[in-house]
């Protein structure tokens, strides 16, 4: 489930970079960091 969410965030981040929207880039970059930390924690403490 988190991997699907991760892929969606990556695609939105790519879209934000393509159109040059700083607000989309920053919001998705922060969300991407948080999702990565959740995925790493889930794999580490499984």
Domain boundaries, the chain: 2-44
Identify whether the C-beta of residue 42 lies closer than 8 Å to the C-beta of residue 30.
no
pLDDT, tens digit (0-9, with 9 covering 90-100), for 3-41 = 999 999 999 999 999 999 999 999 999 999 999 999 999
pLDDT value of residue 30: 97
Written as one string, the DSSP assignment of the chain is -HHHHHHHHHHHHHHHHHHT-HHHHHHHHHHHHHHHHHHHHHHHT-
- Report residue 46 as tokens: 């499984």
pLDDT value of residue 4: 94
């Amino acid at each position: 489930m988190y991997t699907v969410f991760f892929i969606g965030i990556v695609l939105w981040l790519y879209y934000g970079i393509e159109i040059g929207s700083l607000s989309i880039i920053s919001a998705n970059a922060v969300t991407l960091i948080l999702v990565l930390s959740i995925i790493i924690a889930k794999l580490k403490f499984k």
